[in-house]
Amino acid sequence: MEKSKPKVLWDLFLTFFKIGAFTIGGGLAMLPVIEREIVDKKGYINKEEIVDAFAISQTLPGVIAINSAIYVGYRIAGVIGAIVTALGVILPSFITILAIAMLFTTVSGNVWINKALTGGKAGIAGVIGVSVFRLGKRVIKDWFSVVLAVVAFTLAVFFNVNIVIIIVAGAFAGYCYYVLWRMRKYGAA
């Protein structure tokens, strides 16, 4: 049985609220959770589309988690869906930051809090690594995408090239490769 629009909107809000509340480590750490909830558990969109959503979200200004939430919400329930998912993913952070601001003077410099945050950061690095690995498995499918990924990584890490330039150049290279491949396969026509 298909859900009514208010039920879908409420489900989207709760899903993204949960993602925002329980995924520590920022947008990249949220990507595998978004995929598991939206694609695997709920089946709102398919795996190919979520990869496209993440790619588009990364190229836009702003936080990838919010951009992804907006994309998914819009895709599933239009403008109101985009608003609902954005609020769902933002609200937990807003509440947390508000609480921290009120308690900051109490916990500032606390050795136990500092140690907990240090351990949390290491865990977050691992979660981001898993996200990169899973995305790479789906996106890197041939020799051209391997070369493009290695070049993009090298430019970002060793030459400090702006990520926007790398993404735009990658899109242009992909387009050119596709055009040349089609010309080669089907002739110049």
Residue-wise pLDDT tens digits, 29-75: 888 899 999 999 999 999 989 988 888 888 888 888 899 999 999 99
For the chain, give percent helix, strand, coil, nearest 5: 85, 0, 15
Same domain, 89 and 181: no
Rounded Cα gap, residues 25 and 93, in angstroms: 11
Same domain, 131 and 148: no
75, 45 contact by CB (below 8 A): yes
Same domain, 148 and 59: no
The band of 27, judged by pLDDT with boundaries at 50, 70 and 90, is confident
Rounded Cα gap, residues 78 and 175, in angstroms: 29
- For residue 45, the model assigns a pLDDT of 94
Q: Does residue 116 carry a pLDDT above 90?
A: no
Give the domain extent around 149: 142-189
Same domain, 98 and 171: no
Q: How many domains does the chain have?
A: 2
pLDDT tens string 71-84: 999 999 999 999 99
Rounded Cα gap, residues 54 and 72, in angstroms: 10
Rounded Cα gap, residues 142 and 178, in angstroms: 13
Q: Does residue 181 carry a pLDDT above 70?
A: yes
Tokens 């298909």: give the residue: 2
20, 91 contact by CB (below 8 A): yes
Same domain, 22 and 103: yes
Output the average pLDDT for the chain. Answer: 88
Q: Does residue 139 carry a pLDDT above 80?
A: yes
66, 27 contact by CB (below 8 A): yes
Same domain, 123 and 166: no
Rounded Cα gap, residues 32 and 19, in angstroms: 10
Q: Does residue 3 carry a pLDDT above 90?
A: no
Q: What is the pTM of this model?
A: 0.65
Same domain, 135 and 167: no
27, 91 contact by CB (below 8 A): no
Same domain, 126 and 156: no
- For residue 30, the model assigns a pLDDT of 87
Same domain, 64 and 132: yes
Q: Does residue 1 carry a pLDDT above 50?
A: no
Same domain, 106 and 159: no
Same domain, 73 and 134: yes
The most confident of 12-21, 50-59, 93-102, by mean pLDDT: 12-21
Decide which of 16 and 101 is more confident: 16
- For residue 188, the model assigns a pLDDT of 60
* pLDDT cut 90: percent of the chain above it: 49
Decide which of 1 and 34 is more confident: 34
Same domain, 147 and 87: no
